[in-house]
A and B are shown apart, each in its own frame.
Chain A
């Protein structure tokens, strides 16, 4: 066995592209493990744990690319490095129709002077610096990157507020501005409901349910997961409130977030009270108290959509809900989520059924993960611990494969609960991928598999086709995540 590392100084390729190359070279003969990663401390730790890092890779800086290979023979390792180099040096597909790409924001502005939004998804350590340049150049900003230090977020948002620019994020997965989906977002009709969301999948689920109810979205503004924490003080949420309140196309505003810090909640609700527009407020896991007269609290994402459209969504079923049974003799539920807020919503629904739940992202009242075979556990596979150095499971559904295969084989698991999230930004065929895993690892008499599809007929993947693929693979598809969690709860209680 031999471990070989190579470094490319000052080389950057996004994590999706790197994972694609990693996967291609690891399939070569006599290669045990291989990885291509930017040399951040977190990535080096991952490579170290995988047993592919040697002294050369240890010396890489965060701006360097590490090519790390563990092979049965020296010759195989060398062949692997040659192949990696050729894939890295292959002419890059140009996007946006431009053969030439600017290397800086300044050069990009020279090419398109009336740029309005910077969409930033570079490694977190560098994201705030790029965002600062953008707000100073008069752009609004969406920071998709996570792992941005909170003090940088505060500083950036304070300066942006002074400049009258909006910073969505960091860790902002979803926005829809004037009908344009940015990053992970669904194709929903234009309408009069505005959404402000600290969570990407929360916005996605609500906007899709609004669309299915025949209504539409004016704008959906992401704030980033930390905006309503005390450190940041809700700067973006409050600015987004001002924008949507003044927007003539918006008649109803939905706010979705985890429960904010007490003083931030007060400030947000005080601002809501000043508006003449009606609000739906979904602080997932919160107590719903203290709502001003023009606001209604919603317990789940589904309920938030229902309040916003003014009618129940029941009966909007995609697939009939057959009577389901879980695996015989098994007792626990395993949720394997790609969307963090969908995972939170499921916990709330299960708690509503007096079920004790555990999660790596526990809502109030839930516990942290313990023995997965003994307790109901809902896992957010998009959380930092799973995404360090690799793409989010909504981009790369392979991230869910190992935990899914484990759950299928675990005789204590009665029900597996999952989310399939469609839309721009996401994988081209998440249902097809899942169906393949189920076909090769599903077991006779295994657990009931329940899912919901967050998506619309306008999404690139197509809601109907994705749903049909899941049903054909034996998955029970519910019309919303809340409905899926509800059905799962009924099964484990029966």
Chain B
């Protein structure tokens, strides 16, 4: 199954917070990812920077539009 198909499948099957294995994307404070990694919890750290040139209103709008 492709990654995309698997994602769709997961959502469609209603896998929920308590039933899915915890695999974390950490967006923000580095230390949270580091600590999860130390506990062998799968985690990806996003190298985040303020989107839309730091314009929060524009960033919110872009997120709504799905970009």
Chain A contact residues, CB within 8 Å of chain B: 10-12, 14-17, 38-39, 61-64, 93-98, 101-105, 107-123, 125-126, 128-130, 132-134, 136-140, 144-145, 152, 163-164, 166, 177-178, 180-183, 219, 221, 243-244, 247, 395, 424-425, 460
Contact = CB atoms under 8 A, between A and B. Distances in A.
Contact of A102 (B14, B44, B51): B44
B22 A101 contact: no
A111 B44 contact: yes
B26 to A, nearest CB: 5
**Is the contact region of chain B dominated by helix, strand, or loop, or is it mixed?**
mixed
B28 A144 contact: yes
Given A63-B53, A96-B33, A118 B16 contact: no
A180 B33 contact: no
Given A63-B54, A96-B37, A178-B18, A115 B49 contact: no
A178 B56 CA distance: 34
A102 B27 contact: no
Given A16-B31, A118-B24, A62 B48 contact: no
Contacts of A128: 60, 63
A191 to B, nearest CB: 14
A14 B54 contact: no
Given A96-B33, A102-B46, A128-B60, A118 B25 contact: yes
* Interface size class, chain B: 35 or more
A103 B21 contact: no
Given A119-B32, A243-B18, A62 B3 contact: no
A12 B25 contact: no
A37 to B, nearest CB: 13
B4 to A, nearest CB: 8
Given A116-B20, A180-B22, A95 B7 contact: no
Contacts of B37: 95-97
Given A119-B28, A137-B7, A178-B18, A103 B50 contact: no
A177 to B, nearest CB: 5
Contacts of A39: 54
A164 B16 contact: yes
Contact of A103 (B34, B49, B55): B49
Contacts of A424: 35, 39
Interface in B39-67: 39, 41-56, 59-60, 62-64, 66
Contacts, number: 199
Nearest to A12: B49
Contact of A138 (B10, B56, B60): B10
B56 to A, nearest CB: 4
A134 B49 contact: no
Nearest to B8: A138
A425 B10 contact: no
Contacts of A163: 11
18 contacts: A12-B50, A14-B30, A38-B50, A112-B42, A113-B3, A113-B6, A120-B28, A121-B26, A122-B28, A128-B63, A130-B63, A132-B64, A136-B66, A138-B11, A163-B11, A180-B39, A243-B16, A244-B18
B17 A116 contact: yes
A128 B64 CA distance: 10
A140 B17 contact: yes
Contact of B54 (A62, A101, A119, A144): A62
Nearest to A62: B54
Given A62-B54, A95-B37, A105-B46, A115 B63 contact: no
Contacts of A144: 28-29, 32
B7 A109 contact: yes
Nearest to B31: A16
Contacts of B32: 119, 121, 144, 182-183, 425
Given A10-B49, A104-B46, A112 B16 contact: no
A122 B16 contact: no
Contacts of B24: 115-119, 182
A108 B35 CA distance: 18
A247 B48 CA distance: 34
Given A95-B31, A112-B23, 16 more contacts: A14-B30, A16-B31, A95-B37, A98-B44, A102-B47, A107-B46, A109-B3, A111-B44, A114-B20, A117-B24, A119-B25, A139-B25, A180-B39, A181-B35, A182-B32, A395-B31
